[in-house]
Amino acid sequence: MEVEEIKVPLRDVRKTIKEFYEEDKWHFITVNAVDLGGKVELKWFFSPYGEKERFRVVVSEASYDEEIPTITYLIPSAWISEWELADLFGLNVEGAKTGLFLEPDSPKAPLRRG
């Protein structure tokens, strides 16, 4: 398996993805987060169509109060992963709404440490 990680500052995430992403060549898989305590590590996963074991991962870190840039301008289907981050981590993702994944009486940001 080949995994290429591209570490960038949060402000450069969208620009970095835009530089390589072509919708007929790359499959957007998801964006996920890992709570590091006081901040999160974010990873946007891509794979070239037709290649099962090759991945490109854009990696960045953000504090809880930073706005996470949306990539829906480039990849409209990314909204679902972005809204999941907003619900499950309580992150401020540009344009994302909350309440899709959690019931109103659910604990807020259940995957967030602190």
Would you kindly state where each structural domain of the chain is located, as residue ranges? 2-93
Contact indicator for 114, 37 with CB cutoff of 8 Å? yes
Q: How far apart are CA 44 and CA 75, in angstroms?
A: 12
Strands 39-48 and 54-63: antiparallel
The arithmetic mean of pLDDT across residues 63-75, rounded, is 96
Between 99 and 56, whose confidence is greater? 56
pLDDT tens digits, one per residue of 96-111: 999 999 988 999 999 9
| Res 113: pLDDT | 83
Contact indicator for 46, 28 with CB cutoff of 8 Å? yes
AA letter at 83: W
Residue 4 has pLDDT above 90, yes or no: yes
pLDDT tens digits, one per residue of 10-55: 999 999 999 999 999 999 999 999 999 999 999 999 999 999 899 9
**How is residue 101 annotated by DSSP?**
S
Phi, psi dihedrals of residue 22, rounded to the nearest 5°: -130, 125
What pTM, to 2 d.p., does this model score? 0.94
Residue 114 has pLDDT above 80, yes or no: no
Name the average pLDDT for the chain.
95
Question: Which superfamily is assigned to 2-93 in CATH?
Answer: NADH:ubiquinone oxidoreductase Nqo5 subunit (3.30.460.80)
